[in-house]
């Protein structure tokens, strides 16, 4: 798909995001040893095209793949970055309801500028 988008000149204008619901541990705590446990503290997604700098890895987990330890990116940061790449300022999407501010990135999030082209 990426080669096809690039060949047609569409990759620079198309943001591709791949990832799962969240991370998986490299081990299981189950007694039968099948499957792996959920892991919200260290997981991978990849982005391509659409204003993302290519050919790089950002961040790292510990030796077990259990926790993000370098250049951590919270899900709110990822959402803020994707919205930025789509031309939207996540802070401008704030609305007030029942005395509390709400937005797609909750009231957090920062654009991860190191991954932008």
Whole-structure pTM value: 0.82
pLDDT digit of tens for each residue in the chain (117 aa)?
999 999 999 999 999 999 876 777 767 766 666 667 777 787 888 999 999 999 999 999 888 778 889 999 988 999 999 999 999 999 999 899 999 989 888 888 999 999 999
Tell me which residue has tokens 């959920």.
Answer: 38
pLDDT reported for residue 24: 74
Question: Is the distance from CB of 80 to CB of 87 less than 8 angstroms?
Answer: no
């Amino acid at each position: 798909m990426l080669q096809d988008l690039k060949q047609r000149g569409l990759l620079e204008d198309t943001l591709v995001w791949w990832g799962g619901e969240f991370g998986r541990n490299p081990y299981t705590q189950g007694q039968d040893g099948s499957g792996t446990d959920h892991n919200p503290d260290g997981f991978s997604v990849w982005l391509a095209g659409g204003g993302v700098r290519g050919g790089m890895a950002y961040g790292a987990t510990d030796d077990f793949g259990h926790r993000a330890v370098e250049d951590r990116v919270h899900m709110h940061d990822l959402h803020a970055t994707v919205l930025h790449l789509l031309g939207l300022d996540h802070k401008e999407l704030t609305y007030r309801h029942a005395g509390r501010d709400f937005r797609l990135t909750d009231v957090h999030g920062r654009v991860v500028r190191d991954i932008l082209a």
